Amino acid sequence: MPPWLLMVGLGNLPHPNTRHSIGHVIVNVLAAQFSIHRSINRSVGGFKGLSNVLSFSDDIVSLTLFKPKLLINITSPSVVSTLQITVKLPASMVVVHNLLDHKVKVLLVKLEGSANGHNGVQSVIDALGANADFYRFHIGIGQDHAIDPANYMLPDMPLDGLLHWNGVSLDRVCHELGRITSRNQTI
């Protein structure tokens, strides 16, 4: 059986192409890249798709992509339900989310730790408790301090902001997923 990863993109469905929903954007791009069809899964409250993909480290990986329907700040019930019916181990889950106070389009990968002020990530940490050792892909969205954060995060991103994830940065996301897969195989 190939290694299994769950990738959760945090965002708000009413604001699909915004900085606030960059986790959804990344999951959408990965679904297109690997031809993973997602459909609504009412039992977990979100859009879920699974496929075996040949990628990352030239191994086959069973990749589940998930976008919760719940608002980003209360997303934990959907995420924890999906975790329980898929990979089971938090260390095989990657949560992708925005990071307001970090350079635009920079990916930071982290296992464990704090939510860095992100309420959606904090919701998942609180729900998992002591078992909150999941990976975080922090996507820097920058911050224009002259604008209210909501007014900066919620408008649609410029087209070049969305298209950027089809290039080199998508390669970086896949590279990091490969590293996680390799680490999990040695555990």
Helix residue spans in the chain (DSSP H): 22-33, 76-85, 119-128, 149-153, 159-163, 168-186
List 15, 20, 37, 138, catalytic entry: 20
- Distance (Å) of CA 136 to CA 1, 9, 42: 25, 10, 25
Q: How far apart are CA 100 and CA 46, in angstroms?
A: 24
What distances in angstroms separate CA 108 from CA 32, 98, 105, 172, 185, one per listed residue? Answer: 23, 10, 10, 10, 22
120 near 70, Cβ under 8 Å? Answer: no
Reading the block at residue 4, the tokens are: 């299994």
State the residue for tokens 């980003």.
72
Is 20 one of the catalytic residues?
yes
Q: Which residues are catalytic?
A: 20
